[in-house]
Structure 1
């Protein structure tokens, strides 16, 4: 494959990480060690490729043993009553717990429009066989939305 048709940087690593994450979630109730192994491979590929993993995926893997956390199967979820409401997720394999504050107004940095510099998508080109890379800057996207609302 030439570099023109490849898509975006790290596409093969992202697809490999996606496969390993799905395999880890599938094995979570059946084999804890296999689930932890796949989760560890997923995180290792992300670190070696210097790619960011989505926060929802990070929260569903144990930080200590890397096993996929499924509520009621491999993880215990409870809400702690302190000064602030806290969601506690405890891994049943290694007994490691993660605490998250419950705040309905909180947004991830990735959901903030300032965090996006470029949006990449793959489109099929009618004239040629294959995918064509389409780059759009965030400023251009906001202008398109403003003009379409008028």
Structure 2
């Protein structure tokens, strides 16, 4: 009897508040078995996570995936570096844009695709200043008030 896999989606909510996201990509993630089980339970935190190029490969740093509850001594390290899987063309394009001042690559969300493979959406982003954050909050509030008024 086949088991249905529950779709997962874990979002980095602070990313949209802290950064302007200019471009996005969907990448595969090299994970261990206990990490997959922990992600399916929704146990991940994006606090201070970022992506970094090392020898032409893109690595995900400081994404906290909690240890699997029913794991044994073979459980994973919660903060280990994980390799992101993209094509060479995508990596070269991203690395070229990263050389411009002020850009960084950040993880936006973890989700499962149609085949129950775990994927990560990453974004090329520029940091927001304090006044940009205030403008974003103000625009969101006015949109909410407008929608409320039109109902």
Shorter-chain TM-score bucket reads under 0.3
Larger RCO (alpha carbons 8 Å, 6+ apart): 2
The structure with the largest strand share of the pair is 2
Who wins on radius of gyration, i.e. which is larger? 1
TM-score under structure 1 length normalisation: 0.25
TM-score under structure 2 length normalisation: 0.25
